[in-house]
Amino acid sequence: MRIFETEFAARLASGAATTCLCWRLVRADGFALAVTEHDRALVVDGTTYQPGEALVAGQFTQSAALKPGQAAAGGALSHTAITEADLAAGLWDGAAVTVLRVDWERPEFFVCVWSGRLSEVTRGETAFQAELVSIKADLERPVGRVYARRCDAALGDARCGVDVEAFPGVACYQRWETCRETFGNSANFRGFPHMPGADFVLARPAASGNDGGKR
């Protein structure tokens, strides 16, 4: 449940049509863009939102559960906001997005209606479309490494370190034995060859009693 200022809530309940959306986007390189659909600049919580048609919002959906909310946005390409060159370079991919509903007569009254990031941006000749996902989507993103017996590096990449030109036609099967005996690269093996398998985990306790964990 969102918490509103009493006066702001009363204005919304009265049906006063004096609100607009304000968007703040921050790219991974730190560049920030603040725009509003209103026809004049608004200062909201210390940030100046410039008027323009850089973004047009679709319907925001979100839930109280952990399912990520979704939305869509579109807009015209602008040299002062979101340029075709920046979109082509992927600079806006993954940009953080915060959307506020603001009372343009009283900009001190506002509420955050969406926060998330741009997940996919597609370009057209005169406009762009962007898919937005809420920050809940990060809960579905794999983090860290997978612990497995086999190596998870690609032959010849920076984590592997093998000079593939020195081994023409030789395949790597991501096994410890291959890395050690074929490539002599055991120091860079990116797997866990000695981790216990399912047979060890499922084995019954030793019949002779407590032996310190030996099998």
| Residue 20 pLDDT > 80 | yes
Asked whether residue 110 is domain-assigned, the answer is yes
Q: Tell me, yes or no, whether 187 lies in a domain.
A: yes
Beta bridge partners of residue 47, listed in sequence order: 44
- The verdict on 83 and 184 lying in the same domain is no
Owner of token pair 């343009």: 104
Domain that residue 181 falls in = 145-203
On whether both 34 and 128 belong to a single domain, the answer is yes
The whole-number average pLDDT for the span 57-74 is 48
Contact 70, 61 (CB under 8 A): yes
8 Å CB contact between 62 and 69: yes
| Separation of alpha carbons 200 and 162, rounded Å | 33
For the segment 119-135, the average pLDDT, to the nearest whole number, is 69
Q: Provide the pLDDT for residue 56.
A: 62
Enter the DSSP assignment of 187. G
Q: Does residue 126 sit in the same domain as residue 39?
A: yes
pLDDT at site 64: 43
Residue with the bigger pLDDT between 195 and 52: it is: 195
Q: Is residue 213 part of a domain?
A: no
80/199 Cα distance (integer angstroms): 62
Residue 212 lies in a domain: no
Note whether 17 and 103 are same-domain residues. Answer: yes
Final residue of a structural domain among 140, 159, 175: 140
210 within a domain of the structure (yes/no): no
Q: Looking at residue 4, what is its pLDDT?
A: 58
Count of C-beta atoms within a 10 Å radius of residue 27: 16
Pair (29, 82) in one structural domain: yes
Same domain, 13 and 114: yes
Q: Mean per-residue pLDDT for 55-71?
A: 50
Which string of DSSP letters, residue by residue, matches 81-100? SS-HHHHHTTTTTT-EEEEE
Q: pLDDT grade, residue 90 (50/70/90)?
A: confident
79 and 133 part of one domain: yes
pLDDT greater than 60 at residue 71: no
Average pLDDT, the chain: 76
Residues near 25 by Cβ (< 8 Å), separated by ≥ 6? 32, 33, 34, 92, 95, 96, 97, 118
Asked whether the predicted pLDDT for residue 73 surpasses 60, the reply is: no
* Tally of domains in the chain: 2
Angstrom distance (rounded) from CA 74 to CA 123 = 10
Last residue of a domain, one of 140, 161, 184: 140
**C-alpha radius of gyration, the chain, whole number:** 27
Percent of the chain with pLDDT over 70: 64
Tell me the C-alpha to C-alpha distance, in Å, between residue 102 and each of 41, 69, 96, 109: 12, 21, 19, 6
Phi/psi at 7 (5° precision): -70, -40
Q: Which has the minimum average pLDDT: 51-65, 115-129, 162-176?
A: 51-65
Q: Are residues 89 and 181 in the same domain?
A: no
What is the average pLDDT across 137-143? Answer: 59
Q: Which of 140, 159, 182 is the last residue of a domain?
A: 140
